[in-house]
Structure 1
Amino acid sequence: MNEAMLAALLFGLAGSTHCLSMCGGIAMAVTAGHERANRWLALSYNFGRLSCYALLGLIVGYLGELIAFSAEAGLALRLLAAVLLIAMGVYLLGFKQVLGWLEKLGAKVIWQPLRPLARKVLPIRNHGTSLMAGALWGLLPCGMVYTALAWSTASASPISGSLTMLAFGLGTLPAMLGVGLLGSVGNWFKTPHVRRLLAVILILFGTFNAFQQLAKLTVDTVDKSHQHHHH
């Protein structure tokens, strides 16, 4: 597992409480009136959600690959990824406004056109509607999802982008399955201390990455000036 995937997994785990506020209602609706089949319906819902994330990661990773056509552009993308990682940590510490503007933009551009379709799959009747609901709710205007997507874009690779989004989805899975299968999530994921610890790890990780990229930029600049001087 590379550092982008590990960061995305930690982000998913740390943001579990936010996931419950965004998707908890639909996760409960999946199992309503399906006591015997609820385990499988919850799994198909989450499979749909994770598949949506993986597909989105593939698309943005490919876009990142197109953007990073030069060494300078690739370095700029990696630097942006480091800054976003710091933003993820700050967001998880409770400063929601850091990513709030992204959620508002996504609500208008993405979710508004999809809302009528999302209504059609409810109530959940079978695995098909459960899978479809999961895929659609994967597109909810969520600052966490959008940040993970931006991080995936910076990977500048369709495969890495897809795996990074999948790792993020897997991080959210314990909380989401906790709601879908048990009606409540393990208290460990709600613990503010654990959330803060993961947020600090992400901030430190992002800061280290940013300095690493800036150091590379400095070395490259020095090398180029030396080459120019010799000519």
Structure 2
Amino acid sequence: MDLGWLVAPFTVGLLGSVHCVGMCGGIVAALSQVPPAREVRAFPVPVTVAGAPAGAAAPLALHMAARTLSYNAGRIGSYAVAGAIAGGAIGGVRTLAQTAAWQQGAFVLANLMLVALGLYLAGLWQGAARIESLGMPLWRRIQPLTNRIGPMGTTPRMFVLGALWGWLPCGMVYSMLLTAMLAGSPVRSALTMAAFGLGTLPTLLAAGMMGTRLRPILQRRGLRLAGGLMVTAFGVLGLLRAFAGHHVAWLEAICIGGAA
């Protein structure tokens, strides 16, 4: 199977991951540590963190990495599930409206959302943040479950927390969900969201391992501006491809598009 089409969502996740540090980097850093048992209050829910088990043989760094990876595996898994749901839902619509005009319109809309996302990440326009309110009704139902998980002393519990946290309203995730809808099937849509989530992993893994030391660096204005403008460029190239018919190999690889 040719997976070259996953380059675009992965790169968008990589470039936009500075935003993820602001959204959930704090909780990743807090939960990946192994301090004495105490309650850590991290936006938007308080979470109880357990200390390391007595006589644990594994090094502290290994504990931190395992907990961080477990949390992110749950989060990325939720993205993939959301992608599969979105892909399945839009599949019925495409069956009813299997026209080139519909596909072209959806393709243009996805790239316009990518432009809006890039401007949002760069701090130049906050329009993409408004769609986060669409997910608040669902999040209000999921949020109370995060309080029932118990002490975060084990990687399975970290995985469950990440799976729940993956449904936190996020303009960047919602923008990518629109792209995932164009993938052509629930499986391809799930892979699109998984690739996007994997793109965010390096930064969040580093944030978990380094704690709060990395956040000031990633939140620098210049870094956010550069990442946001690069995401915007992806959307602009996609629009050029849509309207001007540029079917060049390298452009096909980096642009957001529907199923082949």
CA distance in 2, matches of 1:67, 1:12: 27
CA distance in 2, matches of 1:211, 1:165: 24
Answer yes or no: is the 8 Å Cα contact 1:85–1:202 preserved in 2.
yes
Deviation at 1:73, TM superposition (A): 2.2
Question: Is 2:232 aligned against 1:206?
Answer: no
- Aligned position for 1:21: 22
Higher helix share: 1
Q: Which deviations, in whole Å up to 9, do the C-alpha atoms of 1:44-96 show, x marking residues without a partner?
A: 11111111111211221222322223123222221211111111211122035
Which of 161, 164, 174 is 2:189 aligned to? 161
Which of 132, 143, 146 is 1:115 aligned to? 143
Question: Is 2:181 aligned against 1:126?
Answer: no
TM-score (norm 1): 0.81
Runs (5+) with no aligned partner, structure 1:
217-231
CA distance in 2, matches of 1:198, 1:182: 21
**Aligned runs of 1:38-187 on 2, under 5 Å?**
38-69=64-95, 70-71=98-99, 72-95=101-124, 97-107=126-136, 109-183=137-211, 184-185=213-214
Q: Which deviations, in whole Å up to 9, do the C-alpha atoms of 1:142-180 show, x marking residues without a partner?
A: 111111111111223223211221121112111211122
Percent identity reads 34
SS state at 1:12 partner: helix
CA distance in 1, matches of 2:63, 2:216: 25
User: In angstroms, what is the RMSD of aligned CA positions?
Assistant: 2.4
CA distance in 1, matches of 2:105, 2:92: 13
- Corresponding pairs, count: 214
Q: Cα gap change, 1:142/1:96 in structure 2, threshold over 3 Å: closer, same or farther?
A: farther
Answer yes or no: is the 8 Å Cα contact 2:122–2:227 preserved in 1.
no
Deviation at 1:122, TM superposition (A): 4.3
Answer yes or no: is the 8 Å Cα contact 1:50–1:169 preserved in 2.
yes
TM-score (norm 2): 0.73
- Aligned position for 1:222: none
Runs (5+) with no aligned partner, structure 2:
35-51, 53-59, 246-260
CA distance in 2, matches of 1:110, 1:214: 36
Q: Which deviations, in whole Å up to 9, do the C-alpha atoms of 1:8-60 show, x marking residues without a partner?
A: 22222222222112112321232232446222111111111111111211221
- Aligned position for 1:224: none
Answer yes or no: is the 8 Å Cα contact 2:139–2:168 preserved in 1.
yes
CA distance in 2, matches of 1:156, 1:181: 37
CA distance in 2, matches of 1:104, 1:170: 25
Counterpart amino acid of residue 13 in structure 2: G
Counterpart amino acid of residue 86 in structure 1: V
Deviation at 1:190, TM superposition (A): 4.7
Counterpart amino acid of residue 29 in structure 1: A
CA distance in 1, matches of 2:130, 2:187: 28
